[in-house]
Structure 1
Amino acid sequence: MKLYPFQDGIRKILSELNLPFYLTGGTALSRFYFNHRYSDDLDFFVNDDNKFDEYCKLIFDELVNAQAEFNFVLDRKSVSKASNFMQLFLLKDNIELKIDFVNDVAPHFGEFMFDSLSNRIDSLRNILSNKFCAIYRFEPKDIADIWIICKSFNCDFVEILSEAKLKDASVDPVTIYDILISFPLDKLDLIKWVKEVDVEIFNKELKIIADDIFNGRKNSLAEIYI
């Protein structure tokens, strides 16, 4: 996938700034943990950091200065900046890379990992609680990410959902159960899988996750695979 070398080049540039951002979301899951689906965007977070604006200026200036050497273009017309958010679009060889930088006011859970580029990588625990917060978007990729994490991560769903609720008060186990149990399997075709999944197995395992959540149990799916 041509986008991945582009991602890696940009991540290397950013890592040399030694800023406290960590890579999270689908790209962290797919590039660092599981390689289960292709993820196009880069999501970098810090948590309640009062130097966020300073970091954003450093990042913007560094990327502007790196354009010629690394043969990409920063689309200045598409730059979006708010108090706790910056979004950039980089273009190279007809490839568009979206990068979000977020100063997240919500608490963080779990320990960071580090990849070969010395980038901080978010914990599975924190990504999972974020995915439960995001499940109300009804995005197939969020369901796929919840499924792949639960296959590999021992956890207690009562604890994870309690942590998710600290981030988003609307998080509700019964609603999450309903969303998981009623997920339309034809939507799996919208996900850019690295390797095709078995739909019947996916459906069976998603129901195991849903039942564990509904009944306030530990993640029993991980016990099957670990």
Structure 2
Amino acid sequence: MDEVSQNDFLRSRYYFTGGTALSAVYLQHRYSEDIDLFSQEKLDNQVIFTLVQEFGQKHGFTVQSRSTEVTYIFNLTFKNGVDLKVDFACYPYKRLGKGITLDGVETDSLLDIAVNKLLTVSQRTEVKDFVDLYFLLQEFTIWDLMEGVRAKFKIKTDPFLVAIDFLKVEDFEYLPKMIKDLDLETLKSFFRQKAKELSKRSVE
């Protein structure tokens, strides 16, 4: 992140978001090493690749990269064997709030990260997302986040379908490495209760 903060091109176009931003900047709840950098612009991958290669020469890490339609993914391997994944993504959606700026790099707002997480839980089933959402739902109501999904992504969320997504918590057998206290049964019980509330609301 130091290189991002010192590079005018990156600093002016990308903001820090995702689970690592959530933990490092806001909640300090779990360990997370992947770095997600989003931009509302679609930028030339070659420019990004050249910059990351320059950083690798400076700091002594090797670079492997691949790309999807909207994300340029880098896997960095340092001489001490530590691996780091960094994603540069085009994310054209207008943000709902203003985030915190640290060392010149803007962090996504807590509300935006929370809204993104609710949508993510409907798209994939990973325990880290449920853990993040557990702590975010201490800050926001589920209805706040469903309204945020509607406002940001123009998607109307069905409470019953969200309830079904929440019950996928039963699939998990372990938690990520935590900073704050949380056990698996507490996580499961929390989302069971949320699913029950959502199901009840969907038939009223």
Fold in common (TM above 0.5): yes
Q: Name the structure 1 match of 2:3.
A: 13
Contact between 1:133 and 1:167, CA under 8 Å: does it hold in 2? no
Moved more, 129-138 or 186-195: 186-195
Deviations 1:13-61 (A, max 9, x none): 11222322111111111211122222231111122x2xx324x444322
Contact between 1:133 and 1:171, CA under 8 Å: does it hold in 2? no
TM-score w.r.t. the length of structure 2 is: 0.80
Aligned-CA RMSD value? 2.6
Question: Which letter maps to 1:32?
Answer: V
- The count of aligned residue pairs is 195
Deviations 1:76-127 (A, max 9, x none): xx33254x32111211022221111111122321111123x33211111111
Question: Which letter maps to 2:39?
Answer: V
How far apart in 1 are the matches of 2:200 and 2:149? 17
Aligned pair partner of 2:127 in 127, 140, 162: 140
Question: Which letter maps to 2:177?
Answer: K
Contact between 1:74 and 1:88, CA under 8 Å: does it hold in 2? yes
Matches within 5 A, 1:48-87: 49=41, 52-54=42-44, 56-75=45-64, 78-80=65-67, 82=69, 84-87=70-73
Q: Name the structure 1 match of 2:178.
A: 193
Q: Name the structure 2 match of 1:173.
A: 159
TM-score w.r.t. the length of structure 1 is: 0.73
Contact between 1:45 and 1:101, CA under 8 Å: does it hold in 2? yes
Contact between 1:73 and 1:90, CA under 8 Å: does it hold in 2? yes
Moved more, 172-181 or 194-203: 194-203
Shift of 1:160: 2.2
Contact between 2:166 and 2:192, CA under 8 Å: does it hold in 1? yes
Q: Name the structure 2 match of 1:149.
A: 136
Question: Which letter maps to 1:44?
Answer: L
How far apart in 2 are the matches of 1:195 and 1:120? 25
Aligned pair partner of 1:112 in 85, 96, 99: 99
Question: Which letter maps to 1:40?
Answer: E
Shift of 1:191: 1.9
Unaligned runs of 5+ in 1: 1-10, 217-226
Question: 1:19–1:148: structure 2 CA closer, same or farther, 3 Å change rule?
Answer: same
Contact between 2:174 and 2:184, CA under 8 Å: does it hold in 1? no
Contact between 1:25 and 1:43, CA under 8 Å: does it hold in 2? yes
Question: 1:135–1:170: structure 2 CA closer, same or farther, 3 Å change rule?
Answer: farther
How far apart in 2 are the matches of 1:156 and 1:35? 20
Aligned pair partner of 1:46 in 39, 43, 57: 39
What percent of counterpart residues are identical?
25
Question: Which letter maps to 1:66?
Answer: F
Shift of 1:156: 4.7
SS at match of 1:193: coil
Q: Name the structure 2 match of 1:37.
A: 30
Task: Verify: 1:131 aligned to 2:138, yes or no.
Answer: no
How far apart in 1 are the matches of 2:36 and 2:134? 20
